[in-house]
Each structure stands twice: as structure tokens, then as C-alpha cells.
């Protein structure tokens, strides 16, 4: 086969890599990662509303040199993207989270390890030497449990291993109504476990959250909660108690993931969060909520630069990153695209996803007439009118 013919088979967009991943993953695994809650309208709206935003390019600007780099918490990144927490990555590749972490470290991006990872937080940390002063900036994601002491053990382990940020998921007092998961429950295969939890190796019982998800009546759901024990997600997080408790528990940065209103963004600043993530959990929690890009401008305005605003939801192109930055994000998380890259070709596949997004962002900036991340503002965007022809300025 000629070099030209061979190169034509290499995927050049995130969408193409997802299509390949779909053919390689078992159907129940692909469906688990791709599905949203209820009718999946929130998941689809994340993508749809990004598409409604249009870039209004300026010309006659010297764009010989494009600088896509940014800095978050004192760490420089080659472009404003980081990896969102995604559970059970060994379902996508035998080395799972290790391959993802190695890809993040090789490029210089931050990665958030899911507490529900199939590789222990210590093994991921060791693989990338995150405890070294010049090591990559990795964060750890957590669901607080009904018994906070159970969560405290995980927090202490993560800090000891070298993670610098604690991403607390605040939008999951209970699991959203994920119909696909209810009809086709995902069970880890033999030899694969949630390595951060104190569960017997090889135990195939579903977690209490999954049992709760399948409750058919409110009475049944309430009984499950009563009998759930200390490891079920806490449904009693509060501004007054949760963040102060975390401050006493760790010196890691405290980042709240799941902020969807300006009111909660202000409360996050008021109560001392170090950063927030504007997120609707990829549409996997409450359906029929706004797209994250819709609420981003109001949230960024409420924060007013006091803490970093991180964004996720529906990002599939470098131009999506551009749009999020224009509307006030300091950093953009990608979740499902990382999983598609991991399924496609492990570490190399994840690196391919990053290279695609970075190249697309750089090209978008040049064609839009902006030379650095700081120059990307809402003046570069318009929105397609609901009725009629043309666009409206934001």
C-alpha cells in the first residue's frame, strides 16, 4: 500500500475516531459511555447549542504566530484542554487509566482520575511521577459518601500520592434516570474491579447507587436508602458544612463540578472553592436542563475572574474550545472524546484526540483573526437566530 493510500485511513476528526471506537467496543460498553439520562435531550442539547454559535472572523490581522497556551493554578498547558473524570477505563483498553494518564503527561495536560477507576489512584500516580515537582498536574474526582470518614480515606490517599486538586462532583445526590443502564446493566468482567474502593475482589454485586436507580416506586427507593450503608453517595451536601469539612481534610485545591447557575457560582466563591466546573454531567443526570454553553456566560460574569471557571459538555472540535473560551471559560474538559481515543489506539489514540483538537483550535484562531487565548472574546461570536435569516451578536 502506498504512503498516500495509508494516510487516507488515519482519522482526522474526533467524530471519525468515535466511529472507529464504536466498532471496537462491546455494544453495552459504548452505550454506557454515550448515553444520557431519560430522553437524552440534555446530552444532545450540549452539542446542538455549541453548533448554534457562529464565529465571526476578523481579517487583515497578522496571525503568523498563534499562541494556544494557557496557565491554570500556576501550571502552563500547551492549549486550554484537560481530561474530565471518566469511570472504568479498562473497559476501553487493557491498561485503561494508565494509558490515558501517560497521554496527558506526554502532552502536558491535566487529567482528573475518576474515583470509580479500574486502576488504583496510586498506580496512576506512579506511572506518571505526579509527586515530582516537575510532574504533571493531576486531580482526583470524588463523590462524598454518606459516611464522610469513608471518603476521607480516599482524600488522604490522593493527597499522599501527589494529586493537587480534588474535584467534588456536586450534581449527583442520586443517579440520574439512565434508561439504557436500567435496561442493560453494565457489570465489570472477571478480573476487573473498582480499584479505589474497599470492596472484595471479584465481587459482582451492583453498587447501591445502581440498585437505587432500578427502584420502581418511591417507597422502594426510600427503603434502599435506609439500608444502603456508608458507601452510597451522600445526598446531604451543603455550602455551610461540606467545603469547610474538605478544607480541614486536605490541602488540595477544591474544585466543584456540576455548577449550572450564576447563583451557585457566587456561593462557590463565597464559600471558598478554588474553582468550579460548569457541567451537566454530560447530560447523564437531570434531563431537560440547559446546555452548559448556554449558562456559561452568566456564570463567568458572576465569578468575575475571582476563581477559574472550567467548562465541559459537548466539546468535539477545536472550534468548540474556542467558543467556550470566548464565553468565559478558563479551561475546557473533554470526557467522551478521551474514551473514544483510548478505545481506538490506547495512549496514541488519546494523543491523537488531543492533537486534533489543538490543531483545530490553532487553525480556528488564525482564521478568526486572534493570536492568543487572551484575545478570544465574545466579540468573535454570534448566534443563529431562532427565526429568520442571519445572526445576532452576543
- Binding-site residues from annotation for FMN: 85-87, 114, 141, 169, 257, 279, 312-316, 335-336
Give the annotated binding-site residues: 32, 85-87, 114, 141, 143, 169, 178, 257, 279, 281, 284, 312-316, 335-336
SS3 string of 165-213?
A: EEEEECCCCCCCCCHHHHHCCCCCCCCCCCCCCCCCCCCCCCCHHHHHH
Among residues 77, 93, 233, 281, the one annotated as catalytic is 281
Alpha-helix runs per DSSP H in the chain = 3-7, 14-24, 27-34, 41-52, 96-107, 121-128, 148-161, 179-183, 208-213, 218-226, 242-249, 262-270, 292-303, 318-326, 336-368
Residue 98 burial (CB < 10 Å; 0-12/13-18/19+)? buried
Catalytic (active site) residue 77: no
Q: Which 3 state secondary structure label does DSSP give 92?
A: coil
Of 158, 189, 186, which Cα lies nearest the Cα of 253? 158
Spell out the residues 6+ positions from residue 338 whose beta carbon is closer than 8 angstroms to its own: 83, 84, 86, 100, 350, 353
Grid look-up 453498587 returns: 207
CA atoms 221, 226, 149, 200: torsion sign: negative
Q: Any idea what the Cα angle at residue 195 is, between residues 194 and 201, rounded to 5°?
A: 80
CA atoms 221, 225, 226, 228: torsion sign: positive
Spell out the residues 6+ positions from residue 84 whose beta carbon is closer than 8 angstroms to its own: 112, 312, 333, 334, 335, 338
Grid look-up 477507576 returns: 117
Q: Which 3 state secondary structure label does DSSP give 73?
A: coil
Spell out the residues 6+ positions from residue 381 whose beta carbon is closer than 8 angstroms to its own: 53, 54, 55, 56, 323, 326, 327, 394
Q: For residues 152 and 307, what is the distance between their CA atoms, to the nearest angstrom? A: 25
Give the annotated binding-site residues for glyoxylate: 32, 143, 178, 281, 284
Q: Which residues are catalytic?
A: 281
Amino acid at each position: 500500500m502506498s504512503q498516500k493510500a495509508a494516510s487516507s485511513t488515519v482519522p482526522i476528526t474526533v467524530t471519525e475516531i468515535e466511529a472507529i471506537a464504536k466498532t471496537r467496543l462491546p455494544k453495552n460498553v459504548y452505550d454506557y459511555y454515550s448515553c444520557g439520562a431519560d430522553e437524552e435531550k440534555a446530552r444532545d442539547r450540549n452539542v446542538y447549542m455549541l453548533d448554534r454559535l457562529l464565529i465571526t472572523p476578523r481579517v487583515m490581522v497578522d496571525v503568523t504566530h498563534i499562541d494556544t497556551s494557557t496557565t491554570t493554578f500556576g501550571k502552563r498547558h500547551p492549549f486550554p484542554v484537560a481530561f474530565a473524570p471518566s469511570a472504568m477505563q479498562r473497559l476501553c483498553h487493557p491498561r485503561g487509566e494508565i494509558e490515558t494518564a501517560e497521554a496527558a503527561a506526554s502532552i502536558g495536560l491535566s487529567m482528573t482520575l475518576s474515583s470509580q477507576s479500574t486502576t488504583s489512584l496510586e498506580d496512576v500516580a506512579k506511572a506518571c511521577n505526579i509527586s515530582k515537582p516537575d510532574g504533571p498536574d493531576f486531580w482526583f474526582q470524588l463523590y462524598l459518601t454518606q459516611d464522610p470518614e469513608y471518603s476521607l480515606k480516599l482524600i488522604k490517599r490522593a493527597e499522599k500520592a501527589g494529586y493537587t486538586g480534588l474535584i467534588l462532583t456536586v450534581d449527583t445526590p442520586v443517579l440520574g434516570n439512565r434508561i439504557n443502564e436500567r435496561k442493560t446493566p453494565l457489570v465489570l468482567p472477571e478480573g476487573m474491579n473498582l480499584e479505589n474502593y474497599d470492596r472484595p475482589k471479584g465481587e459482582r454485586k451492583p453498587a447501591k447507587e445502581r440498585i437505587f436507580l432500578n427502584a420502581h416506586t418511591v417507597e422502594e427507593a426510600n427503603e434502599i436508602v435506609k439500608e444502603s450503608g456508608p458507601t452510597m453517595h451522600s445526598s446531604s451536601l451543603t455550602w455551610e458544612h461540606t467545603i469547610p469539612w474538605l478544607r480541614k481534610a486536605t490541602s488540595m485545591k477544591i474544585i466543584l463540578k456540576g455548577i449550572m447557575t450564576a447563583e451557585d457560582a457566587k456561593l462557590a466563591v463565597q464559600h471558598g472553592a478554588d474553582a468550579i466546573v460548569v457541567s451537566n454531567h454530560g447530560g447523564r443526570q437531570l434531563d431537560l436542563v440547559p446546555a452548559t454553553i448556554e449558562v456559561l456566560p452568566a456564570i463567568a460574569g458572576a465569578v468575575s475572574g475571582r476563581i477559574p471557571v472550567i467548562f465541559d459538555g459537548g466539546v468535539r472540535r477545536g472550534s468548540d474550545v474556542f467558543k467556550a473560551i470566548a464565553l468565559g471559560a478558563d479551561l475546557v474538559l473533554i470526557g467522551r472524546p478521551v474514551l473514544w481515543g483510548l478505545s481506538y489506539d490506547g495512549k496514541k489514540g488519546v494523543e491523537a484526540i488531543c492533537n486534533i483538537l489543538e490543531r483545530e483550535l490553532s487553525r480556528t484562531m488564525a482564521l478568526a483573526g486572534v493570536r492568543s487565548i487572551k484575545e478570544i472574546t465574545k466579540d468573535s461570536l454570534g448566534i443563529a437566530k431562532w427565526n429568520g435569516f442571519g445572526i445576532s451578536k452576543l
